[in-house]
Amino acid sequence: MNRVTLIILSLLFTGFSCKTSTTPQPADCDTGFLPCVDNITECCEVFCEEWFTHCGSDSTDCCFNCPPQFIPCENDTTTCCEVICDTGFHNCGDLLTTCCIDSTSHNFSWEIDTLGIYGSYLNDVEIVNEDNIWVVGIIDTDEGKYNAANWNGSDWELISIYSNTLELYSIYFFSENDIWVIGGGYPLKWDGETWTLYVLHNYGFNVVLENLWGTSSSNMFFVGWNGAILHYDGMNFTQMDTGTSVDLLSIHGSSNGEYVFATGYDDSGALGGHSVVLEYYNDIWLTIYSSDNYWPDNDSTGAVIGCYVYNDTTYFTRQGGLWKYNYLTEASSIIPADEIGMDGNHWWQIIVNDFNDIFMKGTSFSALHFNGNSWQREYSIADYYGWHGTHSERFDYHNNLLVMVGCFDCSFGRAVVIKGIR
């Protein structure tokens, strides 16, 4: 009895221990693969849907991720939207999702033209295009005296406006039949046939004008000595109340003429001179800045000399740096002089072609240029003539052409036109 039982148990145990599993085992797959759903003994590649990429230690998970130049949309973070940069900016960064300022070139090729003989000098320039450039001042020649010249693309044509002995200070060009100049402190207008001189003293205005700006010949502003500003509406001149006696030297405004700015400076006073900034809006001139210090101190950033309006911002050259003033929000910012490289030079004029293409002109044909990323000083002309042998007045910029005017060895030298081509 006991023996039979042992045999049966032994057979049962032996049969149980020899049984094998028939369930398929999952395949050992490489990175990015998983056992197939319909056959786990084989490996199938993991494919992610659009906007998803492989993730996880074995790259078998799918995580939401936008491709380069795309980011999750604000209203649906499971969808990607393209990053489109404004004009003047470009996509940058490792994933092209940041907008960086386009840069313009610092590089100019310079040409020098001289006009007249000893005693000639130029005060202002207006670029219509590369084949039509106007300069004004006094130009003496062996054949006679002139006060303007026009570049026609190949030569300078010397011109006498109204009177060949009348020194011209400024010029403003609307069209070939609509040109304004200031000569002897008075405005003159060309209508395509004749020059008309407006002797302002005969109209009861005791003023001497220096500069001008306008949106049309029926909306002209003129600035001058002792805080003088005159407006011309196409028919009549009106003297405007400015509340200052500082000599006004520069004026510029918004394209629609709604906002206009004037800056002034005189060298009187113990601290180097007075300067003032005026803003015109709603038919009223208001002082928005004034200083008795030419150089910056603890109380101010020094004298303000030049101004230029671009879009909703007015740019001012200050001895303490570049002042940017948003006239709509009244927000201000100042880029310190040492960050720009103003290095104590006198920066009299500014032109803003674009927010990444800004020019400032200093003494002796020196210039500063901002290309969107950096400032660069241009001293090659000053070094060529010598810093104390030249005097530069105003400049103009148009379509990669920069033109500065003045004189070299001004008491005995000649009028100079400096053309920079980019």
> Which pLDDT tens digit goes with each residue over 27-45?
888 888 888 888 888 899 8
Look at residue 359 and tell me whether its pLDDT is greater than 90: yes
Let me know if residue 1 belongs to a domain.
Answer: no
Mean pLDDT of 13-37: 71
pLDDT band per the 50, 70, 90 thresholds, residue 139: very high
Let me know if residue 381 belongs to a domain.
Answer: yes
Same domain, 161 and 95: no
What is the average pLDDT score of the chain?
A: 88
The pLDDT tens digits of the residues spanning 92-105 come to: 887 788 887 777 88
Let me know if residue 15 belongs to a domain.
Answer: no
What CATH number does the domain containing 160 carry?
2.130.10.10
Same domain, 164 and 37: no
Look at residue 140 and tell me whether its pLDDT is greater than 90: yes
Look at residue 13 and tell me whether its pLDDT is greater than 50: no
Same domain, 215 and 343: yes
Same domain, 417 and 391: yes
Same domain, 133 and 260: yes
What's residue 19's pLDDT? 54
pLDDT band per the 50, 70, 90 thresholds, residue 8: very low
What's residue 16's pLDDT? 47
Let me know if residue 13 belongs to a domain.
Answer: no
Q: Which residue has the higher pLDDT, 274 or 218?
A: 218
Q: Which residues neighbour 159 within 8 Å (Cβ) at sequence distance 6 or greater?
A: 146, 147, 148, 149, 150
Let me know if residue 9 belongs to a domain.
Answer: no
Same domain, 157 and 37: no
| Region of poorest pLDDT, from 161-165, 256-260, 273-277, 411-415 | 411-415
Q: Give the domain-ending residue among 65, 91, 118.
A: 65
pLDDT band per the 50, 70, 90 thresholds, residue 3: very low
What's residue 261's pLDDT? 98
Query: Count of domains in the chain?
Result: 3
Mean pLDDT of 337-355: 86
The pLDDT tens digits of the residues spanning 293-329 come to: 877 766 667 889 999 999 999 999 988 889 999 999 9
Q: Give the domain-ending residue among 86, 102, 118.
A: 102
- The CA-atom distances, in angstroms, between 59 and each of 33, 62, 84 are 8, 8, 31
What's residue 405's pLDDT? 97
Let me know if residue 167 belongs to a domain.
Answer: yes
What's residue 269's pLDDT? 63
Look at residue 183 and tell me whether its pLDDT is greater than 90: yes
What's residue 2's pLDDT? 41
- The CA-atom distances, in angstroms, between 232 and each of 101, 202, 215, 402 are 40, 15, 11, 30
**pTM, to two decimals:** 0.78
Let me know if residue 310 belongs to a domain.
Answer: yes
pLDDT band per the 50, 70, 90 thresholds, residue 270: low
Q: What burial class does residue 208 get, using C-beta atoms within 10 Å of its C-beta: 0-12 exposed, 13-18 middle, 19+ buried?
A: middle
What's residue 271's pLDDT? 59
Let me know if residue 212 belongs to a domain.
Answer: yes
Mean pLDDT of 66-70: 84
What's residue 20's pLDDT? 56
Look at residue 394 and tell me whether its pLDDT is greater than 90: yes
Same domain, 77 and 118: no
Same domain, 39 and 93: no
Query: How much of the chain exceeds pLDDT 70, in percent?
Result: 92
Mean pLDDT of 163-184: 96
Q: Which residue has the higher pLDDT, 248 or 295?
A: 248
Same domain, 61 and 75: no
Same domain, 39 and 165: no
What's residue 175's pLDDT? 97
**Among 296, 298, 278, which Cα is nearest to 288's?**
278
**Domain that residue 93 falls in:** 69-102
Same domain, 171 and 81: no
Look at residue 59 and tell me whether its pLDDT is greater than 50: yes
Same domain, 251 and 304: yes
